[in-house]
Chain A
């Protein structure tokens, strides 16, 4: 199976594939994925929280029918957690178990120099792949059928970790001092996501294709809701999307993202709402806004916002 021929033959194919996995996106996203599949480069996905950056990787894994390996980055993440670690326990246990054996080997020699010479013949047994505990990165390189590797929220990790990733990202290989260089059996498709908590290094950006996912346009958002929640009525869908889009233009700390829109749609569906009204919105505002101040700001303008949203629906049905 070859991805290039099979899954990445055209932009449309990628887009359809993602649509089949219930991921609606614009052609920018599809083009970048298509490109990444063809020139085998990692993709750095940036954008505000909750626009579906992580979801994108999941969907691509589903589309390619390969497993998804995920590393969640955080401050203090280092290579022993991301790449590999020696199985210290096993090493210790084996040295204990093999103690007698070692003794007999050593006892046959009388001179110290000879013993050491003898020992040298066995030196690397405890630092061989058998004693290696692969962590996500190494696992991703070892998969024979390829894999989608998701390095989530890379901006949360330290800069050192970022530097350490460079080898993996550009050559798809890692160096383990005791063993040597391990190359990818099959190059994984790598996604890195970032919320821009800090500026990523130029070196990292250089090695990646860059994709910026903004908040979706109204049309796209309606499409997403339609795919995710087909039960919801068309009228309500239009209204709620118009409302969300208006809220995003307010001066608030955390504008609602697409995942919040979906949650809200779900809530409205549960409440058997058919159309937005002021009371309903006021009651469920905490689903889309997660900060006290934000809710206050929105509540102040609730009347006009709701009216706008209702009007938006009229305008569109009138077309």
Chain B
């Protein structure tokens, strides 16, 4: 059974639960203590030792249910209506004996073992199903059982032996079906590898990601956020000794009889950037906006203040929406809420820049990082690059993210080349990988 548990852990890993070696050992121990006879207890015990967060528990539950969906846990029926003992020759073949005894537990174990021998977990596409089914059946000893059925049929036995043959044939059909289901299940579990899917999602253009992947994407973003946080919190710690903290040192020295024995340092304040985000929410950019906002608001621990402005044909301050509602609601509000005073006509950088200069320029200080997200398609309005220049001179950093791919920059009504000289960083940004890189630099670099 340990082998099966190993397979289960592989499936869990593929589904995105991080399981270490020591945790697998715990799981084996837990399973030994709990035994395999109570499905619920086994599930709870494995859950405690393998899944280590609320989200992982959910994944675990679904994996457990689909992986152990075979009746491993049904105790084999002991009393049978027929008496297999009467046909000793049928019992010589292991598989036939099991079928006759209707020992489901043993059969399941045999099948999983055969599956392991046939390396069924390597199944990748539906075309391989029948191949693996054959392999497993052979491994289980199906040819022997077939021969046995033939032998019994040919023997000039009484009606009782014919009955046995019928039983065996029925058992065989059931078995074939079960193995087919099993292979199907393995295909579901293994071919749909999340690893590759995550990678795929990371590099797919954000505008093309389908709605049904959003949930997954959000998980992915959370993961990336965590990585970024880890990276940046570590960096802060090493720089954690600066000025001598005289008061603390003096206080500590009392326990050393007044000797300044253990100097204490003033902790450096965490360098948390203030961020002003200016987002184009026209349709062409909307998807990218969504993911950028998820990122930035996910990182709010590492970011001091966030101001969000959105613009379409005009610009409004949307910070209060993000402060008040959850990120999901806020996003849907800014895209669909008709009560917002935003005109959804043509995107207009001209108005945006003048609005910003007149009303909000004072928000930009030397600690601010300004992130502009937009494709700079200005519909042939005047570009007002001098405002961008003013912003760039006041702020710590000015980052422009353009969801368009580079070859399109500067074509048609795109003004990105006019704006480019005033940005400290101008980047193409249309996949998660891009986003992660940008947010990483947002947190780290000091200029």
Chain A residues engaging chain B, CB cutoff 8 angstroms: 11, 27-28, 31-32, 35, 38-39, 41, 43-44, 46, 88-89, 92, 159-160, 196, 198-199, 202, 205-212
Q: Tell me the smallest distance from the CB of A319 to a CB of chain B, in Å.
A: 25
CA distance A207 to B22 in the complex (A): 8
Q: Tell me the smallest distance from the CB of B264 to a CB of chain A, in Å.
A: 12
Collect the chain B residues with CB atoms within 8 Å of residue A11's CB: 41
Cβ contacts B205-234/A at 8 Å (1 or 0 each) = 000000000000000000000100100010
Q: Are A35 and B257 in contact (CB under 8 A)?
A: no
Cβ contacts B228-262/A at 8 Å (1 or 0 each) = 01000100010000000000000000011100000
User: At the interface, yes or no: B91 with Cβ under 8 Å from chain A?
Assistant: no
Interface residues on B, range: 20 to 34
Q: Tell me the smallest distance from the CB of A286 to a CB of chain B, in Å.
A: 23
Q: Are A31 and B51 in contact (CB under 8 A)?
A: no
Q: Are B52 and A44 in contact (CB under 8 A)?
A: yes
Q: Are B30 and A199 in contact (CB under 8 A)?
A: no
CB closest residue in chain B, given A206: B20
Q: Do A212 and B233 form a contact, CB below 8 Å, given A11-B41, A31-B48, A35-B45?
A: no
Q: Do A199 and B226 form a contact, CB below 8 Å, given A206-B20, A210-B53?
A: yes
Q: Are A28 and B255 in contact (CB under 8 A)?
A: no
CA distance A12 to B149 in the complex (A): 47
CA distance A199 to B257 in the complex (A): 41
Q: Tell me the smallest distance from the CB of B399 to a CB of chain A, in Å.
A: 27
CA distance A43 to B47 in the complex (A): 12
CA distance A211 to B57 in the complex (A): 9
Q: Tell me the smallest distance from the CB of A132 to a CB of chain B, in Å.
A: 14
Question: Binding site of B, secondary structure by majority: helix, strand, loop or mixed?
Answer: helix
CB closest residue in chain B, given A201: B230
**Contact among A38, A44, A159, A212 for B33, CB-based, below 8 A:** A38
Report 6 cross-chain contacts, Cβ distance below 8 Å, ordered by A residue.
A32-B44, A35-B45, A202-B20, A207-B22, A209-B48, A209-B49
User: At the interface, yes or no: B54 with Cβ under 8 Å from chain A?
Assistant: yes
Collect the chain B residues with CB atoms within 8 Å of residue A28's CB: 44, 47-48
Q: Tell me the smallest distance from the CB of B260 to a CB of chain A, in Å.
A: 14
Collect the chain B residues with CB atoms within 8 Å of residue A35's CB: 30, 33-34, 45, 48-49
Q: Are A89 and B233 in contact (CB under 8 A)?
A: no
CA distance A205 to B44 in the complex (A): 17
Q: Tell me the smallest distance from the CB of A9 to a CB of chain B, in Å.
A: 11
Q: Are B48 and A32 in contact (CB under 8 A)?
A: yes
CA distance A212 to B255 in the complex (A): 43
Q: Which of B29-73 contact A (CB under 8 A)?
A: 29-30, 33-34, 40-41, 44-45, 47-49, 51-54, 57
CB < 8 Å A-B pair total: 67
Q: Tell me the smallest distance from the CB of A285 to a CB of chain B, in Å.
A: 22
CA distance A249 to B67 in the complex (A): 32
Q: Are A209 and B26 in contact (CB under 8 A)?
A: yes
Q: Tell me the smallest distance from the CB of A90 to a CB of chain B, in Å.
A: 11
CA distance A73 to B431 in the complex (A): 40
Collect the chain B residues with CB atoms within 8 Å of residue A88's CB: 255-257
Q: Tell me the smallest distance from the CB of B270 to a CB of chain A, in Å.
A: 13
Collect the chain A residues with CB atoms within 8 Å of residue B102's CB: none
Q: Tell me the smallest distance from the CB of B225 to a CB of chain A, in Å.
A: 10
CA distance A32 to B34 in the complex (A): 11
Known: A32-B48, A35-B48, A210-B49. 12 other contacts (CB 8 A): A28-B48, A35-B34, A39-B33, A46-B53, A88-B255, A208-B52, A209-B48, A209-B49, A210-B47, A210-B52, A212-B53, A212-B54
Q: Are B44 and A31 in contact (CB under 8 A)?
A: yes
User: At the interface, yes or no: B184 with Cβ under 8 Å from chain A?
Assistant: no
Q: Tell me the smallest distance from the CB of A6 to a CB of chain B, in Å.
A: 16
User: At the interface, yes or no: B23 with Cβ under 8 Å from chain A?
Assistant: yes
Q: Are B255 and A46 in contact (CB under 8 A)?
A: no
**Contact among B29, B51, B52, B256 for A39, CB-based, below 8 A:** B29
CA distance A206 to B18 in the complex (A): 9
Q: Do A46 and B54 form a contact, CB below 8 Å, given A41-B26, A206-B23?
A: yes
CB closest residue in chain A, given B257: A92
Q: Are A27 and B18 in contact (CB under 8 A)?
A: no
CA distance A31 to B31 in the complex (A): 12
Q: Tell me the smallest distance from the CB of A208 to a CB of chain B, in Å.
A: 8
Collect the chain B residues with CB atoms within 8 Å of residue A44's CB: 52
CB closest residue in chain A, given B23: A206
Cβ contacts B250-287/A at 8 Å (1 or 0 each) = 00000111000000000000000000000000000000
Collect the chain A residues with CB atoms within 8 Å of residue B57's CB: 210, 212
CA distance A32 to B43 in the complex (A): 11
Collect the chain A residues with CB atoms within 8 Å of residue B53's CB: 46, 205, 210, 212
Collect the chain B residues with CB atoms within 8 Å of residue A46's CB: 53-54
A89, A198, A199, A210 — most chain B CB neighbours (10 Å): A210
Q: Tell me the smallest distance from the CB of A151 to a CB of chain B, in Å.
A: 16
Q: Are B30 and A39 in contact (CB under 8 A)?
A: yes
